[in-house]
A and B are shown apart, each in its own frame.
Chain A
Amino acid sequence: MDDLLREFITETNESLDVVDVELVKFEQEPNNATILNNIFRLVHTIKGTCGFLGLPRLEGIAHAAETLMGKFREGVPVTPDAVSLILSSIDRIKDIINELEQLEGEEPAGDDSDLIAELVLMSTSADAPAPVEEVVEEVAEPEPERALRPGEVSLDELERAFRETEVEVETAEPEIVEAPVAQPEPAVAAAPAKEASKPVEAAQPEKAEASEKKSPSVSNQSIRVAVDTLEHLMTMVSELVLTRNQLLEIVRRHEDSEFKVPLQRLSNVTAELQEGVMATRMQPIGNAWQKLPRIVRDLGQELDKPIELEMIGAETELDRQVLEMIKDPLTHMVRNSADHGLEMPAERRAAGKHDKGTITLAAYHEGGHIIIEVRDDGKGLDVERIKSKVIERGLATEAEVEKMSDAQIHKYIFAAGFSTAAQVTSVSGRGVGMDVVRNNIELIGGTVDLRSTQGKGTSFIIKIPLTLAIVSTLIVEAAGDRFAIPQLSVVELVRVQMNSDHRIERIKDTPVLRLRNKLLPLVHLSQLLGIYEGEDVEKAIDDDNGFIVVMQVGSQTFGVVVDGVFHTEEIVVKPMSTMLRNLTMFSGNTILGDGSVIMIIDPNGVASAMASHASSSVSEQIEEEAEEANRKAMNHNSTISLLLFRAGAPEPKAVPLSLVTRLEEFEVSKIERSNGRDLVQYRGALMPLVYVNSGDQHKLEGTQPMLVFSDSGRSMGLVVDEIVDIVEDRMNIEVGSDRPGILGSAIVKERATEILDLGFYLPQAFEDWFMRKEMDIQALTKTVLFVDDSSFFRNMLSPVLKAAGYDVTTCNSAGEALELLENGAKFHAVVSDIEMPQINGFEFCEALRRDPRFRNMPVLALSAMVTPASIERGRQAGFDDYVAKFDRPGLIAALKDVFSGEMGVAA
């Protein structure tokens, strides 16, 4: 392929990118003549050059497209259809050029008559007079050397065209550094006549003259340089920087060195040189955005939702190497936002938003980094959907997910192959490839974070270094070795001292730091790297000395404890030897000013090590919990809070704390006697007092402690001698009791303790405690089957249910209950324990649900273990509700609910 053609391909590609952007702009502002002229000029140039180079296919399409655009210039209304048609012609041209490149300059065979016919049809259907077209066509044709068609150009038109072109030149200025993107035609025009090496100056004398009035043309001041040359220059400057650092280090050691002054100068010059070379590599980020308006426009049409793409800070510059790397991730994210982030217009209207969705791209500098934000004002991430996906894919357990904050949940969309898209569309599935996006960004030492508010929109925040070649790092020490931590991920440094505000605290053996309003997980660098030299790794973190490097990677923040912090140093990252590349903790190594080699910590490696560290302890914890649950199930009982007290006898007595409404102390003088029993005025009513042993007396002076039990507005005071303690213990009634009022004896706090049977005492206060409701609602009395293997709970809860007006039958196992039901006993509802031997509550419920007779019978679960996971399990088993064992009001309310629901259905 000859140089001429290569030049043509490069420049035409650049022009086409500009045309894409301009066309989308034009569609929005059809009356903007400047934009139209710009497009027209570009297409025209392509056409002209194609004719010259003998590429008839390209010329044909370009000509037809140009004709149609000519009609627009004459005032024919611009329709989206027409723009689409032109865009598709541009695409066709691109395709042909790509093939042309692959075929080494041979124009590929093909037939474009369909497209041309459409273009022609569109042009002729426009009612503009045909001859004008010819004139228009020649307007921007500046060079006589080209393959010309006869035609005339009025001086006025020519000048106007130049003036408008001038405007365009200024706006395109930043792009000039590497290539005169906005002005491709001069190079092409000049190419046949002059050497390709200096095309720009020679290109268009006329134009240069025309623009001289305002400012010297930018095109005169730029040349094309091969990227390789720049890369090499950059490497050499990097080496120079290293050597300079080395020299500075030497001079630092010799106080009155005569080298000091010249070295200072060298240092300054090097810094400037470095900056200069960096500048040549810098390109406005707008270059990476160029294709986006077109993509968004096409998406908008395809998905039938109007989308506006807002671009802020397109002039922000960054290293072209970085630019190349983020192009694809950015495109992907914008597509995602358009397809899934933004709702359909109808949905948007319903949510009170403007029909037109907005995607905002913003770029700006912050420190040595560039921040790119991709923001949409759509519906935000669906946390619930992600949660269920996370669980479905086994990335985390339900229990873990429940504990996570929304931000943590959001992060899962970066997990490999994660997609929550309900259906796969032609455009994208939200999350498909988000892991690729993250990987690409992390590859260049960047991080990606996201914020999402349900209903408000999602925004992705990408933080990347300005350049990859030189990294600013913090030099730290751990276990006697120095390491470099890229500053990009360092948020702050905290000095640790026993007496300072920043103190290391420990949860079990996990060190954490209280930093403002957050708890920061800590790990010692030497521990992470496995180079801790002491005996006990847990003690690696010295509570009284050290520095904490607070690092942020994505949305993960953690503290890395180091023994010392030296200084920051600009380093040139050198890749590690292949042998060491499998170490994820390091991203590379470099030579420091003092000549020694230092390893560069990879923040992403540290973050994932932290995460796996944490998750291993979480899974351990979950295992422990599961074991605990198992053990509980095996013992058929679980720890509960017991109120220990003494009454009438020295041996302790106990009652489940959850059954006690209040603990009160009354002045003895307040106790009154009426109708042969003791009463106190309590909350505006008379509360009868009950003694544990009949014949007991209340105290004669001082205050009298008592336990108050209340239910439905009635209260009873159980007189006790002394309240001893509240303990958490497992309740295992070892010895049953025949004595009324005592359920039995259990070991509580290593002492034999009598467990009180409240069911015995409640009727002593009000004889009708269990009766009154039954009488009230006789007709409505419901029968309830209560299944629990523990006699304690049967005895404890059946009075409660009876008190609420239910006719309770108890069973001590699911098997017995099933037998009872099988034999035709009718119940309105079943309340079942979960942790039972042989058949557990879940299985019991599933068995009931399988039987058509009991399919609609309300079944409530009662369990000491109430976790979101167990509730979910219960729901799956078919329970109507899930109540904690000691939640008496909850149980009553749940029963009421299922019955009212049932009655509602019946009615």
Chain B
Amino acid sequence: MTALDMSVTNTSSDSIQYVTVLIGGQLFGLPISQVHDVFVPESVTRVPLSAPEVAGVLNLRGRIVTAINMRRRLHLPPLKEGHMMAVGIEYKHESYGLMIDSVGEVLNLPASSAEPNPSNLDKRWAEISGGVHRLDGKLMVILDVARLLGAMFTEPMVAA
């Protein structure tokens, strides 16, 4: 952790801390400032007639949270075994839970090392990705929460 601490102190002004999550084998990063909690979603009540990626609603310590199935959002096949995890975020004063495969670690990455989305990235991915970080041996896609959820607001409107 010393290396990490170092980097925090050195580049705190222009570096961002990310919580990494795994969805369908791909590493994603969420800015830590947006993540309120990490929890195991239990007794999710499905919401009929809602958008397919809405997994349902659940009670998180007295708050009603709308759970989004990220695998479905990214057009990935559903998780076959094991429990999904969820990352609690807040968007426009409402609570959402992003259901993911597993939570990784916290990384501190310089904002400058982020690269724009490759032009050949799947459109459905590109619309929720805020760029890519090159890590050792793997790539981390930055999840842009505002775009991820914002797109879902308009979608049902169009459908309706």
Contacts and interface: CB of A to CB of B under 8 A. Distances in A.
Nearest to B43: A596
B70 interface: no
A481 B59 contact: no
Interface of B: 43, 45-51, 54, 56-59, 62, 64, 66, 92, 94-96, 149, 152-153, 156-157, 160
Contact of A591 (B59, B66, B95, B157): B59
A649 interface: no
B22 to A, nearest CB: 24
Contacts of A576: 57
Most chain B Cβ neighbours within 10 Å, of A582, A590, A597: A597
Interface residues of A, number: 26
Given A589-B64, A597-B45, A583 B57 contact: no
Given A578-B92, A579-B94, 20 more contacts: A242-B62, A243-B62, A481-B48, A529-B49, A530-B48, A574-B64, A577-B64, A580-B54, A580-B57, A582-B157, A583-B48, A583-B49, A591-B59, A595-B43, A596-B59, A597-B56, A597-B57, A597-B58, A597-B59, A598-B45
A768 interface: no
Contact of A599 (B57, B94, B152, B157): B57
Contact of B94 (A482, A578, A582): A578
A239 interface: yes
B132 to A, nearest CB: 27
A739 to B, nearest CB: 69
Nearest to A532: B48
A582 B45 contact: no
A585 B94 CA distance: 21
Chain A binding surface SS class: mixed
A777 interface: no
Chain B contact surface mostly: mixed
B6 to A, nearest CB: 41
A582 B51 CA distance: 10
A646 B46 CA distance: 68
Interface of A: 239, 242-243, 481-482, 529-531, 574, 576-580, 582-583, 585-586, 589-591, 595-599
A396 to B, nearest CB: 24
10 contacts: A243-B62, A530-B49, A579-B50, A579-B153, A580-B57, A585-B49, A589-B64, A595-B59, A597-B43, A597-B64
Nearest to A577: B66
A239 B64 CA distance: 13
Contact of B47 (A239, A242, A583, A590): A583
Contacts of A579: 50-51, 54, 66, 94, 96, 149, 152-153, 156
Contacts of A598: 45
Contacts of A596: 43, 45, 58-59
Nearest to B94: A577
Contacts of A242: 62
Nearest to B60: A597
Contacts of B45: 481-482, 589, 596-599
Contact of B66 (A580, A590, A595): A580
Contacts of A577: 57, 64, 66, 94-96
A589 B64 CA distance: 8
A251 B43 CA distance: 20
Contacts of A591: 59, 62, 64
Contacts of A578: 92, 94, 153
Contacts of B149: 579
Nearest to A585: B49
A599 B62 contact: no
A574 to B, nearest CB: 6
A380 B157 CA distance: 41
A253 to B, nearest CB: 15
A582 B46 CA distance: 16
Contacts of A582: 156-157, 160
Nearest to A239: B62
A599 B64 contact: no
A484 to B, nearest CB: 11
B27 to A, nearest CB: 26
A578 B156 CA distance: 11
A481 B47 CA distance: 9
Contacts of B96: 577, 579
A387 B96 CA distance: 49
Contacts of B94: 577-579
A565 B71 CA distance: 34
A481 B96 CA distance: 21
A598 B47 CA distance: 9
A660 B160 CA distance: 58
A562 to B, nearest CB: 13
The 8 A-B pairs with the shortest beta carbon distances in the complex, nearest first, are A529-B48, A577-B66, A597-B45, A597-B57, A531-B48, A596-B43, A577-B94, A591-B59
Nearest to A594: B43
A481 B51 CA distance: 17
A574 B64 CA distance: 8
A582 B158 CA distance: 11
A871 B58 CA distance: 60
A583 B50 CA distance: 7
Contacts of A580: 47, 50, 54, 57, 66
A580 B149 CA distance: 12
Nearest to B156: A582
Contacts of B47: 580, 583, 586, 599
A529 B45 CA distance: 14
Point out which of A239, A580, A586, A590 has the most chain B C-beta atoms below 10 A from its C-beta: A580
Nearest to B95: A577
A235 to B, nearest CB: 12
Contacts of A529: 48-49
Indicate the member of B50, B62, B92, B160 with the most A CB atoms within 10 Å: B50
Contacts of B156: 579, 582
A577 B47 CA distance: 12
Contacts of B46: 481, 531
A574 B59 CA distance: 12
Contacts of A574: 64
Contact of A589 (B48, B57, B92): B57
A242 B64 CA distance: 13
Contacts of A530: 48-49
A583 B156 CA distance: 9
B153 A585 contact: no
Nearest to B66: A577
A595 B64 CA distance: 10
A599 B59 CA distance: 12
A605 to B, nearest CB: 10
Nearest to A574: B64
B48 A585 contact: yes
